[in-house]
Structure 1
């Protein structure tokens, strides 16, 4: 018989832990913050819009957990350092980072301004690197970083999205390398989550015919839900995945399986 210890369900709990979520003012990021709170974590909320963060913070507190909203421009290395230090000042620790902040663009490559390409890569990839390094400096052994990539880092898009696809593919490569650098040396696991198309404000604004073209490539040709992305996020953030690092979990209805 195995020795007594945490149950399987207990392994998914984040009690007495502190998580930082970037891009937490709305969309998937706000949902991730609430899921982390439901799993027992106190949550540091980072985004540029403080008004959106305050709404997310209120929802976290309704779930019985503490929340610290911090207006943060993740493209600024000093701001990344500041939000990591704010977590330590408020809670005394930082255990989980969800690197979620991101933007997209839909522009044919021959018409795209190089400055716009760089802006997308700066927000989606360079800023993720900056925030990860800032958080790794203050995390103790047992920390977990979850980089939110995208199915479009794994498969082609039906739209012209070179900057977005490149940034998300880069996020997957960054995940592998940081896992190699930090897991053994610092005890920090680094994994990536690659969502497919999920019901959000962004997908609600997509023309139905375009969305249908994306979904037609999936084994499950429908939009995912926030909860269907929350569950694997909690898995990667929690001790339930303690023997997993450097991988990308695609949660995309089978889109990347073709």
Structure 2
């Protein structure tokens, strides 16, 4: 039970990698705050956590709105009295080639993937400073490190959250707060599995391990970073990509 007595907020945890992280942390006895913009998805994740015997609440909030991010933090404090870990996971895709990318596609991705991370980390980072302890984990992507065709907006945000994390590691580390990032490669989410079979085959052939990653394999790294086992890891980016860019 590596996360006993730790309160964890996971943004975008109604489904996908965020849900996988929530379930993995529930098994380690964390108190979980499930956040998303879809109430049905929130309720499903909370129910799954409780089926495991875990402790969880759901909070509907659009983190691209600074006021709603503030309310997310306040409701968490009202329920649990502290915030030990923030997992900035919420993110969207609006892919297009540079010459075809619209202002709407650009701004929508920036709003969630970048502004949302800032909004949550700003308010919760302040709470953690007052506590004298805390842990921020940003879910980035290998696209943020190496780029990808058709993902100018996504790559920009995922690279930026790495840069912000490294800045927080310096600013907040002296206050007892660690900041790290996880950079997944091609993970078998519903979105990826919905791609044409020949595309999936191409992806798998490009990965040295010869397969897509599992959501649980990202979640296990998040559990490690949230636990005291990683107490001297700060400002690090951990790739979970099967050796894709080795």
* TM norm. shorter chain > 0.5: yes
- Give the TM-score of the pair, scaled to structure 1: 0.91
Name the SS for the 2:106 alignment partner.
Answer: helix
Deviation at 1:228, TM superposition (A): 1.2
Equivalent residue runs for 1:214-253 within 5 Å: 214-253=203-242
Question: Would you say the 8 A contact 2:63–2:112 is kept in 1?
Answer: yes
Deviation at 1:237, TM superposition (A): 0.9
Name the SS for the 1:24 alignment partner.
Answer: coil
Between the aligned partners of 1:216 and 1:169, the Cα distance in structure 2 is 25
Which of 118, 121, 145 aligns to 2:110? It is 121
Match of 1:7 in 2: none
Structure 2 gap segments, 5+ residues each: none
Match of 2:56 in 1: 67
Question: Would you say the 8 A contact 1:144–1:238 is kept in 2?
Answer: no
Name the SS for the 2:146 alignment partner.
Answer: coil
Between the aligned partners of 2:24 and 2:226, the Cα distance in structure 1 is 11
Match of 2:161 in 1: 171
> What does the per-residue CA deviation read over 1:173-212, in whole Å, with 9 as the maximum and x for residues that have no partner?
111011111111x211010001111111111112233333
Q: How many residues align?
A: 244
- Give the TM-score of the pair, scaled to structure 2: 0.95
Which of 150, 161, 167 aligns to 1:160? It is 150
Structure 1 gap segments, 5+ residues each: 1-9
Give the ranges of 4+ consecutive aligned residues of structure 1 lying more than 4 Å apart after TM superposition: none
Aligned in 2, Cα 1:215/1:174: closer, same or farther, shift over 3 Å? farther
Between the aligned partners of 1:138 and 1:65, the Cα distance in structure 2 is 24
Between the aligned partners of 2:209 and 2:46, the Cα distance in structure 1 is 34
Question: Would you say the 8 A contact 2:43–2:58 is kept in 1?
Answer: yes
Between the aligned partners of 1:32 and 1:177, the Cα distance in structure 2 is 24
Match of 1:190 in 2: 179
CA RMSD, 1 decimal: 1.3
Name the SS for the 1:68 alignment partner.
Answer: strand
Question: Would you say the 8 A contact 2:21–2:220 is kept in 1?
Answer: no
Match of 1:137 in 2: 126
